[in-house]
Amino acid sequence: MEHIHKINAAQYEVLNLLSCIDREEDIADLKNVLVQFLNSRLQKELDRMIERGELTDEKMSEWKNEHMRTPYKR
């Protein structure tokens, strides 16, 4: 079965902006901006979780020792 995915308004705007970028240096700069944006969002969510008591030092210690790799079958 073929899946057809529709892009949302944000994706459309990003694609329009990307049509103006053609230099490797600009692509690298854009990638850095996007990483910083996503990092900022993640940090804000982590701060909210800490404030609500959903994320504690104990929970992070558990995660540090947790094995979350996908098992691959041969």
Q: Which residue ranges make up each domain of the chain?
A: 9-65
Residues contacting 33, CB < 8 A, separation 6+ = none
CB atoms within 10 A of CB 55: 16
pLDDT digits (tens, 9 = 90+) for 1-35: 677 788 999 999 988 988 888 899 998 998 999 99
pLDDT digits (tens, 9 = 90+) for 37-52: 999 999 999 999 999 9
Q: Are 15 and 7 in contact (CB under 8 A)?
A: yes
